[in-house]
Structure 1
Amino acid sequence: MALRSYSPSVENYRSVLITCACLTTWTVFRCSAILPTCVELIRQLLHTPHSMKYMLGVCSQYTQNPTPNPISLGSTQATDKVEETQTPFGYDCSNIWIRNPKSTTGIYTIKPTGANSTIQVFCEMNDDGGWTLIQKHDGQDNLPFDRSWYDYKQGFGNISGEHWLGLDNIYLLTNQEKRISELRVSLGDFAGSEAFAGYSTFNIDPESKFYKLSLGNYSGNAGDAFRGQCSATNQDGSLFSTKDKDNDNCDACRVGDMAFRSCSNDQFKSGWWFNSCGIADLNGQWRTNGEHIGWASAVSWKTWRTLESLKFSKMSVRHN
């Protein structure tokens, strides 16, 4: 029997959400992580298969975009308070897409394997799977990226707009047991051109190892700026640096007659995986059209646009 379309009234909106939250927890984790309040509900549905089938259909229709309002990260002002006990829809956006390929792009609650709490993320649901957005920088929110180690660790910005997901969250996403993560870097310039760089594997170490970057094989049309043009600009294997925690390899780097010791604080004004220093920095200062040429601190991917600060950058992770 085909499932009919379900249009809940305002009165039972909360009831439907609670039921779908319970069902999501049960279908993802089975009994290992089910909330105590859901036990009786799931028991009743298991004893009435038609009700179970119907409610699974309802939830599939009704929770495509479970958190439509903007969610903020870290030290920026939040538009909504996020409960850490919110029921996750999957381990990551790829897991959500696998379970329901009709899932729509938007904000979801996830819980990577090994994580102790849930994470709010923006999922880009495409024909090739679900991608978890970890960085977006396009100037639309005037979000500063010249921030402290703590901010980069925790994350900052608006998940539905400009943001950095947070190094701790990126570590959890890219170090899930039996889940391989790959990276896609999406770029655009002010002339309207777009390009991408893909890496077959992508993961970072924990904070105790300064979030060291590890990349797999490159593909794409933007060039492999992460690996640079020589050993000094190869950022694969680099530690993360911020203006207040210098982990780069600049004992005394030079640009012309100017010498400096910190790529993050003295040159690029951003947090990033700097070597000495490198030709990729997607967290540099965003520049307006017409004022975007020739800056040291810029949204940079110099194997594609050597002198330009880019109009936008996005970093997304997909899991296999």
Structure 2
Amino acid sequence: MPCEFRDGNAFTVILRRVDSSVTFIQPWSVYEAGFGNPQGNYWAGLANIYHLTNTGYQKGLQINMQDWAGVNHNAVYRFFRLNERNTRYRLNVAGYSGTLPDDLQYQNNMPFSTYDAPDPYGCAANMYAGFWYNYCAYFLPTGRYYTSPYYTPAGTMYDGIFYKDWHDYNYSLKFVSWTVTS
């Protein structure tokens, strides 16, 4: 997994969205293994993220986002961990600080879902993205990458890269990265 170095600290990149060159409409097996290019659009893989967050010291999560006007926001969690595979890599985050309301908290303690390993409400299939869903999502960094901010969904549900309490569901962000901290 790739690392970034900022302010004398190392961060392991587990998710990055920069353009539409890689689709995140992937089956469970691909989300579990990982895909993409670490210098571009990238998902490290659920199994890799599980091992990273369950070895050594407690891990944190830093999320960086940018909209199409160049405005940046971040979300930082002092605690970040995925549970075992038999829980479908249930998400655990705590200790939030950031420049926006905590939209990921809505999906905390939920199992990961994809169109072929669905959640009870069909969110992964209808939003065309693997992620942790809680009927359905307030934050979707794995959504469809639209090349302009405001979009019309491809299906019946909003499916862009959205952060509900920033620009709402119908605004797709330009950039998102997730990095794990020690």
What is the TM-score with the length of structure 1 in the denominator?
0.54
User: What is the 5 A alignment of 1:120-139?
Assistant: 121-139=1-19
Distance 1:286 1:249 in 2: 25
Map Cα deviations across residues 105-154 of structure 1 (whole Å, 9 max, x no partner).
xxxxxxxxxxxxxxxx22110115100000001216x1000000000000
Partner of 2:165, secondary structure, is coil
In structure 1, what is the equivalent of residue 125 of structure 2? 265
Distance 1:198 1:309 in 2: 21
The structural deviation recorded for 1:199 is 0.7
Determine whether 1:287 maps to 2:146: yes
Runs of 4+ in 1 over 4 A off after TM superposition: none
In structure 1, what is the equivalent of residue 91 of structure 2? 213
The structural deviation recorded for 1:301 is 1.2
The structural deviation recorded for 1:157 is 0.4
Which amino acid letter does the alignment assign opposite residue 136 of structure 1?
R
Give ranges in structure 2 of 5+ residues lacking alignment: none
Candidates 159, 175, 178, aligned match of 1:297:
159
Candidates 168, 171, 179, aligned match of 1:308:
171
Candidates 235, 238, 246, aligned match of 2:107:
235
Determine whether 1:160 maps to 2:39: yes
Specify whether residues 249 and 200 from structure 1 end up closer, same or farther in structure 2 by C-alpha distance, changes over 3 A only. farther
Partner of 1:169, secondary structure, is helix
Map Cα deviations across residues 274-302 of structure 1 (whole Å, 9 max, x no partner).
01112111000000126x33531101111
Bigger proportion of residues as helix: 1
Greater RCO (CA < 8 Å, at least 6 residues apart): 2
Q: How many residues align?
A: 177
Distance 2:152 2:75 in 1: 22
Map Cα deviations across residues 228-249 of structure 1 (whole Å, 9 max, x no partner).
xxxxxx2100000001001x34
Give ranges in structure 1 of 5+ residues lacking alignment: 1-120, 228-233, 251-261
Determine whether 1:145 maps to 2:5: no
Distance 1:192 1:184 in 2: 19
Tell which structure's C-alpha radius of gyration is larger: 1
Partner of 1:217, secondary structure, is strand
Superposition CA RMSD, Å = 1.3
Partner of 2:178, secondary structure, is strand
Map Cα deviations across residues 183-212 of structure 1 (whole Å, 9 max, x no partner).
011000001101001111000012111000
Which amino acid letter does the alignment assign opposite residue 116 of structure 2?
D
